[in-house]
A and B are shown apart, each in its own frame.
Chain A
Amino acid sequence: MKLSKRVVLLCLIAVLAMSMVFAGGDKEKGKIRIVTTSWRTEDVERMNRINALYMEKHPNVIIDFQPTADEEYDANTTAALETGIGADIIYLRSYDEGLPYYEAGHLVDLTNIIPNLEKFPRAAVGAWSKDGVTYGLPSAGVTHGVYYNKAIFKKHGLTPPKTWAEFIKLNDTLLAKGEVPIAQGALDDWTLYEVAFSGLGANFYGGEAARQALLAGKAKLTDPNFIKAFEAVYSLKKYLPRGYEALDYSAMLQMFASGQAAMFIGGSWEISTFEDMGADPANVGWFAPPVEKAGDRLQYCFHVDIGVGVNKNSKHLDEAIEYLKWVAGAEYAQALMNELPGFFSYTPADVKINDPLAAEMFKVIADSEPTVRTVWEKLSAQAPSGNELMGIALPGMMVDKYTPKEAAAFVQSQLETWYPPFKK
């Protein structure tokens, strides 16, 4: 009894002491707080370090990065904006994922605000513009390719493949040697589409030209070139780990990071993820999506990922816009690429990529035809959206619910129910 009283007393003292420590709010008096929000909860520390650079020069401003978990981001942000308590700076996904915020009238027209907007890559500006109005600053893009475990490759005398035939041969060798070739699951609905199909499939369906034809309604997902892409992804099935049907994204990452699989079909944003999971950066290699035939030009999925908008109803609109201008500048671009390797800034400035993997991914852009994820633009503006349908079709295909042809036909037929160019 005596002991428990003492414990309670100690706890009370601890609580009091803690509240004193956290009551240091006086320091913030008179300062302006700019709240920024995003869907990347894993970046808090890194973003705080980037924003510290701004706060050094603007001692009267506090930049408060408050991300929400990816799955809840839309729900939370919409609710907050509609009820007038939204963050000052809103991170926007590209095309039709970010557009609703502008269409609902929550975002400032940035066309004449962003410095040097005309020098930003046009495709990137287009991802956050409508009818000549740019509502989001094109901040960063990501690329897709294949990570590999250098030690495992070395052990079996393997080198990164250039063509698909080499890639398949490599997989067969790994399988024969008793390794798990690819850490890829079929449980989560997005990885197979966003990364495997858009990343590796682009070389088969013909990248940007084919995507544009699809958008214009001149091509269909059931055309032979797209079917080839579905088949290519399907052909990887035998190289996936046991129980891949129930393997989710975080388990996939763990598997590769801990050396239990030789390769990981991934996006450039995972560089720091693997590092944070304890993989030795020196042991992680990367190669671009293998081309179909030797000599083919690489169709490279360089996806428009992060746009930054300003809340029209921000209480500190001027300060928020001031901050956005900094985000559009060279200092932010460099800091972003240092802190978050694999996010490639669109800012037209001379920035250095210090991370060797990120540098490799970036170097490839020069010799490739860049494109974005297959059905992300326009084809995902309405329900049932292309993104959602691909997220049903591809995992279904990997567990033999659909053949590659059926998977393609399923997505195509559902898109035809609403996408105007298909209806003609």
Chain B
Amino acid sequence: MGSNTSYTRRRVQKILFRLGFLLPALLIYTFILLIPIVDSMRLSFYTGSGLIPNTFIGLGNYIKIFTQDVFRERVWGAFTNNIKFFLIVTLLQNVLGFFLAMAVTRPIKGASFMRKISFIPTTLSVLVVGFLFRQILNPIWGILGNFPWLGNEFTALPTLAVAVSWQFIGESILLYTVGIDGIPIELLEAARIDGANWFQEMRHIILPAIMPIVGIVTLLIYVGDFTQFDIVYAMTTTSGNPRFKTDLFGSLFYRTAFSTPARGGWGMGMGAAVSTIMFAVVAFGVGIWFFVFQRKRDA
């Protein structure tokens, strides 16, 4: 019996010891992330003016969003725009980023220099990038102003996606080069001795080895894009010009929650509902990632 209590005590001590390490992070996480998120979900069930709406209306805000045309159109519009935006950015940043990473890891003259400068755009502020692109695309004095890129409803969103990809492609290149550098040189040499060409080397050795990184890059792009606000703000205003064709969840939330109705605001309660939907979409995507990539790793 004596040994049993001491065993239990040791166990408890061990748990407390571990908890002691976890507690600070847990507390900070709870107070600055978890509670606000839950509270904003709570707000989505209320209506009223000001920052803290106080009339409980149950699912009223959601019903409005999903049944009334003008609200549904906006939310659905932002959602589909976000998906398109995500697909274009993923394609550019992943595919182009991968090939560029392949290029800069080759023993070519200047490769290490290219590696370094490829990261420079990532260090710029999004506002600066947005401004730069707006100047380049300006119809009056921009060097690419021959076509109204930002005014045409089919090209506006892809243009924004290109700007974002241009800025963050350095991040993909960085992560991919790290992955490629990590592949044992013997493996590549063996392949070459066996007569593998450039494409086979990429297809059968490099790509499988860096698959986890592809997953992480895609996840980062996903979370970044579904919470993207800055580039819309910088290039096409929070109205997502032209006519909401570049409206993403971030700009939609900002406009609906914080503007007066006269400027496109829907009230804080509706804004909270929009942000809850946004949270659900992001959580869904991250969940899939965990399911696909993490489980694969465990298996």
Contacts and interface: CB of A to CB of B under 8 A. Distances in A.
Interface residues of B, number: 45
Contacts of B69: 417
Contact of A79 (B51, B236, B263, B266): B51
A241 B262 contact: no
A75 B258 CA distance: 5
Given A75-B254, A241-B139, A243-B139, A383 B243 contact: no
Interface in B140-158: 140, 145-153
Contacts of A242: 139
Given A82-B52, A246-B149, A414-B70, A97 B140 contact: no
A56 interface: no
Contacts of B261: 96, 380-383, 385, 388
Contacts of A383: 70-71, 256, 261, 264-267, 270
Interface in A371-386: 376, 380-386
A417 B257 CA distance: 21
Interface of B: 49-52, 68-71, 134, 137-140, 145-153, 233, 236-239, 241-244, 254, 256-267, 270
A75 B259 contact: yes
Interface of A: 71, 74-75, 78-79, 82-83, 93, 95-97, 100, 103-104, 185-189, 241-248, 251, 254-255, 260, 376, 380-388, 391-392, 395-396, 399, 401, 414, 417
Of A188, A254, A383, most B-chain CB atoms within 10 Å: A383
A386 B260 CA distance: 12
Given A82-B52, A385-B264, A388-B264, A246 B139 contact: yes
A408 B187 CA distance: 68
A104 B48 CA distance: 10
A291 to B, nearest CB: 29
A254 B69 CA distance: 38
A239 to B, nearest CB: 15
13 contacts: A74-B258, A78-B51, A82-B52, A83-B51, A97-B260, A187-B150, A245-B242, A383-B264, A385-B262, A385-B264, A395-B241, A395-B243, A417-B69
Contact of B151 (A97, A388, A399): A399
Given A78-B50, A82-B52, A247-B140, A187 B264 contact: no
